[in-house]
Amino acid sequence: MKPPPFPTLSLFSLLTTTLNLTLTSATNLNVTALTYRGPISILQCWTVAPPFSTSTSGPIGASVASLGGVSGNASFIVQPPGSAGGYKNAPGPQWSWFISGLGHITLLNSTDKVWVVGGKYGLVYADDTDTYGHSTTFPSTDETVLLGLPTADGKQPEHEVLHEGACGWADLIGI
Protein backbone atom coordinates (compact mmCIF):
# COMPACT_ATOMS: atom_id res chain seq x y z
CA MET A 1 0.00 0.00 0.00
CA LYS A 2 1.37 3.39 -1.00
CA PRO A 3 1.55 6.22 1.53
CA PRO A 4 -0.85 9.10 0.85
CA PRO A 5 0.58 11.77 -1.43
CA PHE A 6 2.03 14.90 0.10
CA PRO A 7 -0.22 17.93 0.02
CA THR A 8 0.23 19.98 -3.12
CA LEU A 9 0.63 23.21 -1.10
CA SER A 10 4.31 23.27 -0.24
CA LEU A 11 5.82 25.23 2.64
CA PHE A 12 7.41 27.54 0.05
CA SER A 13 4.08 28.35 -1.61
CA LEU A 14 2.43 28.81 1.79
CA LEU A 15 5.13 31.28 2.85
CA THR A 16 5.01 33.01 -0.52
CA THR A 17 1.23 33.37 -0.32
CA THR A 18 1.45 34.73 3.23
CA LEU A 19 4.28 37.09 2.24
CA ASN A 20 2.34 38.38 -0.76
CA LEU A 21 -0.66 39.13 1.44
CA THR A 22 1.59 41.00 3.86
CA LEU A 23 3.41 42.91 1.15
CA THR A 24 0.23 44.25 -0.39
CA SER A 25 -1.35 45.39 2.90
CA ALA A 26 0.64 48.61 3.53
CA THR A 27 -1.42 51.78 3.37
CA ASN A 28 1.38 54.27 4.06
CA LEU A 29 5.09 54.47 3.34
CA ASN A 30 7.13 54.38 6.56
CA VAL A 31 10.73 55.64 6.54
CA THR A 32 13.52 56.37 8.98
CA ALA A 33 14.09 60.12 9.20
CA LEU A 34 17.47 61.57 10.16
CA THR A 35 16.18 64.92 11.40
CA TYR A 36 16.76 67.33 14.28
CA ARG A 37 15.51 68.71 17.57
CA GLY A 38 17.26 72.01 18.19
CA PRO A 39 20.97 71.53 17.48
CA ILE A 40 20.83 67.76 17.92
CA SER A 41 20.42 65.15 15.17
CA ILE A 42 17.76 62.56 15.97
CA LEU A 43 16.24 59.50 14.35
CA GLN A 44 12.48 59.14 14.02
CA CYS A 45 10.19 56.69 12.28
CA TRP A 46 7.81 58.58 9.99
CA THR A 47 4.75 57.59 8.05
CA VAL A 48 4.65 59.69 4.90
CA ALA A 49 1.41 61.34 3.77
CA PRO A 50 -0.54 60.96 1.61
CA PRO A 51 -1.12 57.19 1.81
CA PHE A 52 -0.48 54.83 -1.07
CA SER A 53 -2.90 55.21 -3.95
CA THR A 54 -3.59 52.89 -6.84
CA SER A 55 -2.16 54.05 -10.13
CA THR A 56 -4.62 54.57 -12.95
CA SER A 57 -1.95 55.52 -15.51
CA GLY A 58 1.51 54.20 -16.25
CA PRO A 59 1.81 50.95 -14.31
CA ILE A 60 -1.95 50.51 -13.83
CA GLY A 61 -2.86 48.92 -10.51
CA ALA A 62 0.51 49.67 -8.87
CA SER A 63 0.63 51.16 -5.36
CA VAL A 64 2.09 54.67 -5.49
CA ALA A 65 3.31 56.86 -2.61
CA SER A 66 4.18 60.46 -3.34
CA LEU A 67 7.52 61.68 -1.99
CA GLY A 68 6.72 65.28 -2.91
CA GLY A 69 8.63 67.36 -5.40
CA VAL A 70 12.38 67.18 -5.88
CA SER A 71 14.67 70.01 -6.88
CA GLY A 72 18.33 70.72 -7.42
CA ASN A 73 20.78 68.04 -8.35
CA ALA A 74 19.87 64.39 -7.96
CA SER A 75 23.00 62.36 -7.23
CA PHE A 76 23.95 58.78 -8.04
CA ILE A 77 26.57 57.82 -5.43
CA VAL A 78 28.84 54.76 -5.34
CA GLN A 79 30.58 54.24 -1.99
CA PRO A 80 33.59 51.90 -1.94
CA PRO A 81 33.36 48.80 0.27
CA GLY A 82 34.31 49.45 3.89
CA SER A 83 34.40 53.24 3.51
CA ALA A 84 33.44 55.83 6.12
CA GLY A 85 31.99 59.26 5.55
CA GLY A 86 33.01 60.84 8.86
CA TYR A 87 30.77 63.20 10.81
CA LYS A 88 28.83 65.60 8.63
CA ASN A 89 25.42 67.15 8.10
CA ALA A 90 22.95 66.43 5.34
CA PRO A 91 23.75 68.80 2.44
CA GLY A 92 20.08 69.83 2.43
CA PRO A 93 16.71 68.19 3.02
CA GLN A 94 16.78 65.08 0.87
CA TRP A 95 15.66 61.54 0.26
CA SER A 96 18.55 59.06 0.28
CA TRP A 97 17.78 55.69 -1.24
CA PHE A 98 20.29 52.94 -0.52
CA ILE A 99 19.81 51.01 -3.75
CA SER A 100 22.28 48.29 -2.77
CA GLY A 101 24.83 47.59 -0.07
CA LEU A 102 24.75 48.53 3.59
CA GLY A 103 24.88 51.74 5.59
CA HIS A 104 25.41 52.26 9.32
CA ILE A 105 24.31 55.71 10.51
CA THR A 106 25.33 56.94 13.97
CA LEU A 107 24.66 60.27 15.63
CA LEU A 108 27.34 62.48 17.19
CA ASN A 109 25.53 63.27 20.45
CA SER A 110 23.46 60.13 20.87
CA THR A 111 23.63 56.38 21.06
CA ASP A 112 20.88 56.12 18.41
CA LYS A 113 21.92 54.35 15.23
CA VAL A 114 20.37 52.63 12.27
CA TRP A 115 21.51 49.94 9.87
CA VAL A 116 20.15 50.58 6.38
CA VAL A 117 20.03 47.60 4.03
CA GLY A 118 19.97 48.52 0.35
CA GLY A 119 16.85 47.69 -1.61
CA LYS A 120 13.17 48.42 -1.17
CA TYR A 121 13.62 49.12 2.57
CA GLY A 122 16.61 51.38 1.95
CA LEU A 123 14.80 54.74 1.76
CA VAL A 124 15.84 57.33 4.38
CA TYR A 125 14.90 60.98 4.72
CA ALA A 126 17.65 63.35 5.98
CA ASP A 127 17.50 67.03 6.94
CA ASP A 128 19.91 67.42 9.87
CA THR A 129 21.55 70.37 8.10
CA ASP A 130 22.38 72.64 11.08
CA THR A 131 23.06 70.16 13.86
CA TYR A 132 25.92 68.27 15.46
CA GLY A 133 25.63 65.82 12.60
CA HIS A 134 25.83 62.13 11.85
CA SER A 135 28.28 59.61 10.48
CA THR A 136 27.61 57.00 7.84
CA THR A 137 29.88 54.03 7.32
CA PHE A 138 29.52 51.48 4.54
CA PRO A 139 30.74 48.18 6.04
CA SER A 140 29.67 45.95 3.16
CA THR A 141 32.27 43.94 1.24
CA ASP A 142 30.69 45.30 -1.93
CA GLU A 143 30.01 48.83 -3.12
CA THR A 144 27.01 50.66 -1.65
CA VAL A 145 24.97 52.51 -4.25
CA LEU A 146 22.76 55.44 -3.23
CA LEU A 147 20.48 57.90 -4.94
CA GLY A 148 20.22 61.38 -3.36
CA LEU A 149 17.06 63.39 -4.19
CA PRO A 150 16.83 66.92 -2.72
CA THR A 151 13.30 67.91 -1.72
CA ALA A 152 11.51 70.76 -3.47
CA ASP A 153 12.00 74.11 -1.74
CA GLY A 154 14.00 72.40 1.03
CA LYS A 155 10.84 71.36 2.84
CA GLN A 156 10.04 68.25 4.83
CA PRO A 157 7.48 65.96 3.23
CA GLU A 158 4.09 65.72 4.86
CA HIS A 159 4.43 63.11 7.59
CA GLU A 160 3.41 61.88 11.01
CA VAL A 161 5.95 60.70 13.60
CA LEU A 162 5.22 57.06 14.45
CA HIS A 163 7.87 56.93 17.18
CA GLU A 164 11.28 58.19 18.24
CA GLY A 165 14.20 56.16 16.91
CA ALA A 166 14.69 54.45 13.58
CA CYS A 167 11.96 52.37 11.99
CA GLY A 168 12.25 48.68 12.80
CA TRP A 169 11.49 45.84 10.42
CA ALA A 170 7.90 45.69 11.69
CA ASP A 171 7.46 49.35 10.67
CA LEU A 172 8.87 48.79 7.18
CA ILE A 173 7.45 45.39 6.21
CA GLY A 174 4.46 45.59 3.98
CA ILE A 175 5.64 47.66 1.04
Would you say 77 and 145 are in contact if contact means Cβ atoms under 8 Å apart?
Answer: yes
Average pLDDT, the chain: 84
Any domain includes 67: yes
Any domain includes 22: no
Count of domains forming the chain: 1
Any domain includes 149: yes
Any domain includes 141: yes
Query: Residue 120: is its pLDDT beyond 50?
Result: yes
Per-residue pLDDT band at 175 (split at 50, 70, 90):
low
Digit-coded pLDDT (tens) for 13-64: 323 333 333 344 568 899 999 999 999 999 999 999 887 888 888 788 888 8
Tell me the three state secondary structure of residue 41: strand
Q: How far apart are CA 88 and CA 130, in angstroms?
A: 10
Residues making up the chain, counted from first to last: 175
Give the amino acid at 7.
Answer: P
Instruction: Report DSSP letters for 94-145, one per residue.
Output: EEEEEEESEEEEEETTSS-EEEEESSTT-EEEE--TTSS-EEEEE--SS-EE
Domain of 51 in residue numbering reads as: 29-172
Any domain includes 21: no
Any domain includes 112: yes
Any domain includes 45: yes
Q: How far apart are CA 174 and CA 57, in angstroms?
A: 23
Query: Residue 123: is its pLDDT beyond 90?
Result: yes
CATH code for the domain of 105: 2.60.120.10
pTM over 0.95: no
- Quote the pLDDT of residue 174: 74
